[in-house]
Amino acid sequence: MGNGMTKVLPGLYLGNFIDAKDPDQLGRNKITHIISIHESPQPLLQDITYLRIPVADTPEVPIKKHFKECINFIHCCRLNGGNCLVHCFAGISRSTTIVTAYVMTVTGLGWREVLEAIKATRPIANPNPGFKQQLEEFGWGSSQKLRRQLEERFGECPFRDEEEVRALL
């Protein structure tokens, strides 16, 4: 199930449930926040802020209803100098979908480009077909709207995320 968590952007990591409870990896990558996206309960480690999203990895699940909450969580973490791990059970579909939605929002890039960049660092990344459809729908305007909301709330993004993503392509 992968070889540990993968750095997608500064302050943003993608992984699986094993990564989320590995104190060595969490410490080495200075993880301060974790988004757990699956049905199983997670151990709560001290000094880590958690967001739990109980979602099954099936195409008909409306994962996009969680995009805004997850994107705000990741963005706040990064703006405050933290590092966020987004994980599901295998680190393939659900977590990749959330990370893709976040990167789409902060860069303005389309889901296919973002997913291609993520796969450059994590080849197993592959949202299920229903999640890909929801990412496509999110790109029809919702990601830009959410980007404007982030800018209104937090000011202009200080990160060079689009450059980071394009460097992976």
Options 70, 77, 84, 88, the catalytic residue: 88
Q: What is the pLDDT of residue 1?
A: 47
Active site (annotated) includes residue 70: no
Mean pLDDT of the 120-146 span: 96
Q: What is the pLDDT of residue 45?
A: 80
Give the closest residue to 32 by CA, choosing from 77, 76, 86, 71. Answer: 77
Q: What is the mean pLDDT of the chain?
A: 94
Mean pLDDT of the 63-90 span: 97
Mean pLDDT of the 119-146 span: 96
Mean pLDDT of the 74-90 span: 97
Level-2 CATH architecture, domain 7-57+64-168: Alpha-Beta Complex (3.90)
- Confidence class of residue 7 from pLDDT cuts 50, 70 and 90? very high
Share of the chain above pLDDT 90, in %: 86
Is 118 or 168 the better-scoring residue by pLDDT?
Answer: 118
Task: Give the residue extent of every domain in the chain.
Answer: 7-57+64-168
Mean pLDDT of the 91-111 span: 97
Mean pLDDT of the 72-97 span: 97
Give the closest residue to 101 by CA, choosing from 60, 69, 124. Answer: 69
Q: Would you say residue 2 has pLDDT above 60?
A: no
Q: Would you say residue 156 has pLDDT above 90?
A: no
Q: Which residue has the tokens 């296919």?
A: 112
Mean pLDDT of the 110-135 span: 97
- The token pair that represents 89 in the structure block: 């059970």
Mean pLDDT of the 109-119 span: 97
Share of the chain above pLDDT 70, in %: 97
Compute the distance between CA of residue 42 and CA of residue 35 in angstroms, rounded to an integer. Answer: 10
pLDDT digits (tens, 9 = 90+) for 25-52: 999 999 999 999 988 766 678 889 999 9
Cβ atoms within 10 Å, residue 133: 14
